[in-house]
Amino acid sequence: MSDRVRFGLLGPLEAWSGDVRLDLGPPKRRVLLTRLLVEDGHPVSADRLCDDLWEGRPPAGAVSSIHSHISRLRAVLEPDRTRRGQGTVLVSGPAGYTLNAPPETRDSTRFEESVTRARELLAQERLEDARREVESGLGLWRGAALADAANHAFAAREISRLEEIRMGAGELNATVLLQQREYDKAALIAEELTTRSPLREAAWALLMRALYLAGRPAEALRRYETIRALLADELGTVPGPELSGVHVAVLRQDLPAPAPVRTAPAHVPPGARTTPPARPARPARPSVIARPLVGRADELSRYDELLSDAAAGETRWVLLSGESGIGKTRLAEEFASRAADLAFRVVWVRCGSDIDSDEEEAANDRFNPLGQLLSALFPQIRVEGEPEAIARDLAERLARQPTICLIEDLHRAGRRFRRLLGMYATLLRDVPLVVVCTTQDTDDVGLRELLALLVRQSRATLLPLGPLTVEDVHELMRLRSTPFDELMGSEPQQSEAVALHRRGEGNPFLITEILELPGDQRTGPGARLPASVIRVLRARLDQLDERVLKMLEALAVTGGELDPELLVQVRAITREELLSLIDAAVIARMLNWEEGTTGRLGRYLMPDLARELMLHDLTPARRQMLHAAVARALGELPHRHPAQISRHLMAAGPLVSRDDLVAAALRAGERCGEDEQHGEAAVWYDHAAALADDPAVQTEARRAAEAARRRLARSQDTGHPCDPADMPGDWPAGSEPRVS
């Protein structure tokens, strides 16, 4: 039977014997079988299996459990084997257990072979065959690779390897479609690849090519801005040569369509391929930057003064700091542009990793910002040697031409570069040089010490970047509007800027990404979350543990304003525990403190985008459970308005009975009437009438609603002020009357 057992690893684990799907048992047994399959026919000891299945903490009976699972697997994989007979599929020996599953019995192997054949067919210009082969291989995927063992360390390498091949297969598929001039289909596939792997430049390059060739150049350029911002914020890098080359070609409108490919006969020998076009050289950063820059007039004014000082022969240091997306790189680009206009030499240095080993940092050019700096300035200067000697040589050469050096993401630099930078800040003083460093706000003690040294030794100018103002956002919207918008009278309104500023937290990156959406999806009821914004917010959430996330979920369904008494009750924690969770959320920028004003206390608020993401990620059932828990907690707290309780009961879905909903709505209507909030009272009575099964209750509720409306009309006729709460407001999702 062994030659008939086939295994599926490209998704939840499967095993087939002929047309019969085998029952592999409970999750732990499936993980065990996955572990043996990953070993590719090599034995695995019982001790190793225990460590891998229980992540280094096997329980006392782990070995016995392994033996039991092995016995059950043997019975499933070899049902014809006698109880004491020697098996051929799952065998044991002195070195441990071995699963004899030839490569061709695993779908992962068949997938890899399909991709290899597809590449060969593409090289032979047999496009239709290549497309059929790669799509056949991709069709073997049923979900995530090794899904049953996704959370186990032993599977990480194989999962990563298979996912990388899968991404390459997707790119191959898109490439074939481009060659076949099916540009829209290629764009769809490339779009999916960028969603699955947001920082993969090859996928973005394919997407830009497909969009441009499909006649959508504006979309191609927007995609470039998206990946450029992601690379800057996530990795501290800029797009590489291939992606930059595609960008330049789109701007120049000279990205050629693929040449027509002949249908190659079947006998074309392997290796016969078209010569790939040479990759375009990486362009320099432009001296004129198309993206608008707003809200940084003070910083630019101060920088212009420093630039004048440097042109006169004085060394100046500038430290740009702020959170991710606040616009540090964009402002640094403007600095570079202004310096270039004054004939300054412009040098960019990027710190790419948090390396703590001096030897490793020194040995790796990619992570050696000093090497980048010196090789960019004067390739003939040796990086090795005493800092004093290098500084003297640098000073002599820098004196010949004013220079601006922009060091991005200083917080990512290793200790060796930080130390050397501090030395050069002391040694390089009277040369025409401006050094601009960008860094995120961080608790890194070493970085703080370096920044203090730069301020002390070189009188560095600190330029912390804060959020944009509402006026800045309005100006940004105006700059992005088109002549057609002006002609149609659809220029941005101040109210739109206020809403966008609130939603985007004043963060230039978030606001710019939201502005890419259609107007009706930026703010208000139809607001959507751009994929790039979701990735930024998820990066914040990744910093938080489960307890903080659960607190934020409860906060999201209660409206986003933190109610300590309520959250303590809902999460069953102490006030002290709540404060520690609040601290973590504030640090991750998922919660903000708003200072109080006269007559109003300060409060913690969840940013709009953060709340939207939390609600977006909640399943309907989870959201209903939270609303039910909040309603219960409110009912146990004193002095809580019945309308507040009823809103959450309405949103709890099937977890609350119809009778309870009717009773809650009647209480809410009665209380609103007592508070002379007649409009809201009428709405609650309408809810009760719509939900009630008892005709008498329906009649009574309708009468109460009509009476409330009459009182509201009388109060308006007599000129009595009407409280905003008198008018129906926004109801929680799922709180509408459920009428059978």
Buried/exposed 36-58: b ≥16 CB within 10 Å, e otherwise: bbbbeeebbebeebbbbbeeeeb
Q: Is a pLDDT exceeding 90 seen at residue 119?
A: yes
* Residue in this structure with the two tokens 């540090």, named with its chain if needed: 328
Across the range 548-563, mean pLDDT stands at: 93
Would you tell me how many other CB atoms lie within 10 Å of the CB of residue 456?
Answer: 11
pLDDT bucket at 489, cuts 50 / 70 / 90: low
pLDDT at residue number 377: 56
| Least confident piece of the model among 124-128, 350-354, 589-593 | 350-354
Q: Measure Cα distances from 106 to 10, 100, 566 in Å.
A: 9, 11, 53
Greater pLDDT, 537 or 384: 537
Across the range 414-428, mean pLDDT stands at: 81
pLDDT bucket at 284, cuts 50 / 70 / 90: very low
Across the range 174-200, mean pLDDT stands at: 90
Across the range 392-404, mean pLDDT stands at: 83
Cβ-in-10-Å burial (0-12, 13-18, 19+) of 522 comes to: buried
Across the range 258-269, mean pLDDT stands at: 43
Tell which residue, 272, 258, 259, 277, has the closest CA to residue 124: 272
DSSP string, 482-525: -HHHHHTT-PPPHHHHHHHHHHHTT-HHHHHHHHTS-GGGTSST
pLDDT bucket at 270, cuts 50 / 70 / 90: very low
Residue 93 in 3-state DSSP?
strand
Q: Is a pLDDT exceeding 70 seen at residue 240?
A: yes
As a whole number of angstroms, the distance between CA 678 and CA 718 comes to 15
pLDDT at residue number 490: 62
pLDDT bucket at 292, cuts 50 / 70 / 90: confident
Greater pLDDT, 234 or 145: 145
pLDDT at residue number 446: 79
Which H/E stretch holds residue 632? helix 620-636
pLDDT at residue number 107: 93
As a whole number of angstroms, the distance between CA 355 and CA 416 comes to 9
Q: Is a pLDDT exceeding 50 seen at residue 627?
A: yes
Cα angle 335-340-346, degrees, rounded to a multiple of 5: 80
pTM recorded for the entire structure: 0.55
As a whole number of angstroms, the distance between CA 670 and CA 662 comes to 12
As a whole number of angstroms, the distance between CA 452 and CA 72 comes to 65
Q: Is a pLDDT exceeding 60 seen at residue 325?
A: yes
Q: Is a pLDDT exceeding 50 seen at residue 269?
A: no
Q: Quick one: CA dihedral 219, 220, 222, 226, positive or negative?
A: positive
Mean pLDDT for all residues in the chain: 82
pLDDT at residue number 259: 56
- The token pair at 553 is 């979920």
Greater pLDDT, 207 or 417: 207
Which H/E stretch holds residue 346? strand 345-350
Cβ-in-10-Å burial (0-12, 13-18, 19+) of 282 comes to: middle
Q: Is a pLDDT exceeding 80 seen at residue 506?
A: yes
* Residue in this structure with the two tokens 């690779």, named with its chain if needed: 145
Q: Is a pLDDT exceeding 60 seen at residue 723?
A: no
- The token pair at 187 is 């764009």
| Least confident piece of the model among 81-85, 340-344, 552-556 | 81-85
pLDDT bucket at 463, cuts 50 / 70 / 90: very high
Q: Measure Cα distances from 167 to 11, 79, 124, 126, 406 in Å.
A: 15, 38, 22, 21, 34
DSSP string, 275-335: PPPPPPPPPPPPSS--S---S-HHHHHHHHHHHHHHHTT--EEEEEE-STTSSHHHHHHHH
Q: How many helices (H) and strands (E) does the chain have?
A: 31, 12
Across the range 231-254, mean pLDDT stands at: 81
Pairing mode of beta strands 403-408, 603-605: unpaired
| Least confident piece of the model among 149-158, 284-293, 681-690 | 284-293
Q: Tens digit of pLDDT for each residue in 17-57?
A: 888 889 998 999 999 999 999 988 888 898 889 988 988 88
pLDDT at residue number 261: 47
As a whole number of angstroms, the distance between CA 273 and CA 269 comes to 9
- The token pair at 715 is 């109060």
